[in-house]
Structure 1
Amino acid sequence: MKMSEWLRLLLLCVYLAPGRSLTCIWCSGSPYNCQESTQLCTLNQTSCMSQAFTIVEAGQGGQPDSVSEWTYKGCSQGLVCNESVYLDLGFRKSYISSQCCITDMCNKGTYYARVPVSGLWCQACEGNNVSCAANLTSLRCAGVQDRCMTIQTLYVNGSSSNVVYKGCGTGNLCGRRLEYNTGSPRVYSQVSCCGSNNCNQGVRPVTVDESPNGIQCYACNETGKGECRTPITSTVACTGNMTSCLDVVGFPRGNTLMRGCVSGDVCWGLSASLSLQASQKLYCCQGNLCNTGVVSSYFKSGSSTVHRSLMGGALLGLIGGLRTLL
C-alpha cells in the first residue's frame, strides 16, 4: 500500500470514529451562484465531494457555441473522486470533473469542471471599436482558457463612449450581458466568444434596450459626501434587461456604496463589471424600490433575491445518471 493510501486510511480512522459523521457543504446550482448549506453525512459517506459539469453545444448557422454549467456538492461514498471525464459527440462536448476531501466542510468554494485546452490562439487588444480593429496581436491561451473572447462596454451619459477588450477566457463568461444604471452613467457590457484560432477579430455593436420595464430602484454613487446614506430618495427607472435592484455594501462598516438597476447576469456574481473590491459585497432583489440598504431583508423567507439557472435538458439527464455513483 502506498504512503498516500496509508495517510488517507489514518485520517479516515481519526475523523470517522464510532458515532461521528462527516459534515459537508451541500449545494446544487450554477458554479457562480451555488447557495451553500451544510449536510450531515451517513456513516458510509466518507468524503465531501465537489462535482462540476460543463456542456458545450455547437452553434448553428454561424451562431456562437452555447455553454451550460452546473455544480453539485455534498456527501459521497467516494466512488467517483478526483476524476475528469471528456465526451465529444461533435454537436455537444461534455466535461465532468470531481474532487473529494475527507475533513468537515472541506468542499467549500467555487468549483468548475476542468476543460482541457490544446494551444488555442486568440486576437488580443485593449481600446475601442476603432483601435481594436487595427491594432490586434495574437495571444496563446493557457490553463482552462478555452475561448477567444471579446468584451464590449458602452457608456451612455448624454453622449456615448465604448471600451473593447479581446483575448482568452473561459466558457462560463460567454453570452453574458452586464448592465447597470446607478443614475449616471448607464453601462452596457456584452461578452461574445468563439472557439477556433484567432476567430475573435470583428467587433459587433453593443445592443441597447432602453425601453422602460416598469421597475424602479433607489440610485446613488457614494463619493464620501453621504449620497447613499439611508433614507435615500433618489430613484431611477429601469430599462430593458435591468430587472433587478442593487445594493453594493462595504465591509466591515456595512455602509452602502452604490444602488441602482442591474441585469440578472450581474446578480450571478459577475461583479467585476462594477470594479468591486474583495471587501465589497453585492446584493440583488426584485420589486420596486426594494434596495433599501437593509441587507438582512435579502435573506428573509420569500425574498426576491435573483436565482437563475443555465442548466439545459441534456445537462439534467447527465447529472441524474452520474448521481447514482455518488
Structure 2
Amino acid sequence: MKFQVSLVIFIFCLGAADSLTCQKCLSKNGKCAKNEVEVCDQSQDACFIETKDYAGLDAGTVKLGCGDSNLCRRYQKGNRGSLSWSMFCCSFDLCQPLTRDVHGNGSKNGVQCQTCIGSAAECGHNAPTEPCYGSEDQCVQISQRLLPGEETEPIIKGCGGSSFKDTLVAYQIGRDFAFVEQKVCSSSNCNNRSFPVITSGQPNGLQCYTCQESGHGECAQDRLQVLNCTGVMDQCVRVIDRENRTVTFQKGCATETMCSSYEDIYSKLMGPDSFVECCKTSFCNQAGEHSGPQMLLMVAASAWWLAWMA
C-alpha cells in the first residue's frame, strides 16, 4: 500500500515537473510581475499573448497565460467593427513571443483612466490604470451585449477624445435583445463604475417586422414575424448590405441612436459592410429585399473566405 501511494505521488510530481509554466497577467504593455505566473494543465501546450485594440480609443490590452497552440494557429488575428485582436504562442517556460512598445500620442495630460478590453471580471473595479496623452482627456467605459453569433468583448475602457459621448444603443431582433452603453467622464479613474443591467422595458405601442437572415430566406416577405417594440426602442430598423441595399441581414426594433449618422454605432460595432435604415411608424420596415438563394450565396462566400483565412 505504501508503495502504491509513493508511486502515485511520484507520478504526480513527475507530471507537475513536466508542466509548462507561463506568465499570467492583464496589462497595457504585456509586462507581468515576477510572481504573476501559472502552471499549465496537461491540455495546455503553449504560453499565449493576446493583444486587443479599439480604434479611436486608447484602450490597448495585452493578456498573457496558458493556452492551446491550436488556438494560435486558428485565430491569429481578426477584427469586428472597431475592435481588433491578435494572438501569438510559444512553448517553453516563461516565454514571451511578443514585446509591445506603448507610446502615447503627445504628452501626458494629467488624466489617468482604467484601460482594459475583456470580460466584466477582468475589467472590473481593479482594472489597470494608465496615463492619458494629448487630446484624449476623457475616461470612457463601454459595456455591451450583442446578438448571438455577434459576440465580442463585453467591456472596453480607456482614454478617449471629445468624439466619445454618453450613448445608449439598444436593439432587438426576434427574441434577442442587445445593447451598447457608452459612458464618458473627465476625472481620473472615473471609469471604474459597475456595469448596470440594461433591460428591454415594457411595450411602447410600436410594432415592427423582424427577421434574421442566415441564407435560407428568413427575411422573405412571406416569412416576416411581428415584433412588439419595448422601452426606448422607438424605431423600426432594417440592417442591409452597404453595397447592395436590396439585401437584408436583419429587421427589428431599435433606439434612435442606432440610426444616427453621427453615432454610426452599428458600423462601429460590426464593421463597414452593413448599413441601418430606420423609420418611426408601425410595420414601416417592410422594404423589398433579396433573400434565400442570393443571400445564401453571400453567406457561403463569406464562410469560404473565413475558412480560407483560418
TM-score (norm 2): 0.50
SS of the equivalent of 1:139 reads strand
Q: Quick check: 1:264 aligned with 2:256? A: yes
Q: Distance in 1 between matches of 2:250 and 2:166?
A: 25
Aligned residues: 177
- State the shift of 1:155 in Å: 5.8
What is the aligned partner in structure 2 of residue 283 from structure 1?
277
Task: Give secondary structure in 1 for the equivalent of 2:276.
Answer: strand
Q: Is the 8 A contact 2:236 2:278 kept in 1?
A: yes
Give CA-to-partner distance per residue, 1:135-164, whole Å, 9 cap, x none: 51223434543310111124698xxx9922
Q: Quickly say closer, same or farther: Cα 1:191–1:251, change in 2 above 3 A.
A: closer
> Gaps spanning 5+ residues in structure 1: where?
1-115, 296-326
Partners of 1:143 and 1:191 in 2: CA distance: 21
- Residues 107-152 of structure 1: per-residue CA shift (max 9 Å, x gap): xxxxxxxxx9835321012233333226512234345433101111
* Alignment map for 1:72-151 (pairs within 5 Å): 118-133=109-124, 136-142=127-133, 144-151=135-142
Q: Measure the CA separation in 1 of the matches of 2:274 and 2:198.
A: 29
Check conservation: 2:112, 2:188, Cα contact below 8 A.
Answer: yes
Which ranges of structure 2 fall in alignment gaps of 5 or more residues?
1-106, 290-310
SS of 1:205's equivalent? Answer: coil
Q: Is the 8 A contact 2:142 2:155 kept in 1?
A: yes
8 Å contact kept, 2:125–2:192? no
CA RMSD of aligned residues (A): 2.9
Are the counterparts in 2 of residues 178 and 273 from structure 1 also a CA contact under 8 Å? no
* Distance in 1 between residues matched to 2:210 and 2:182, nearest whole Å: 25
The residue identity in structure 2 corresponding to 1:198 is N
Q: How do residues 1-326 of structure 1 correspond to structure 2 at under 5 angstroms?
A: 118-133=109-124, 136-142=127-133, 144-154=135-145, 163-254=154-245, 255-269=247-261, 270-273=263-266, 275-294=269-288
CA contact (8 A) 1:220 1:227 kept: yes
Seen in structure 2, the aligned counterparts of structure 1 residues 172 and 208 have a Cα distance that, compared at 3 Å, is farther
Q: Decide whether the 8 Å contact of 2:221 with 2:288 is kept in 1.
A: no
Q: Which amino acid aligns with 1:261?
A: C
CA distance in 2, matches of 1:125, 1:272: 20
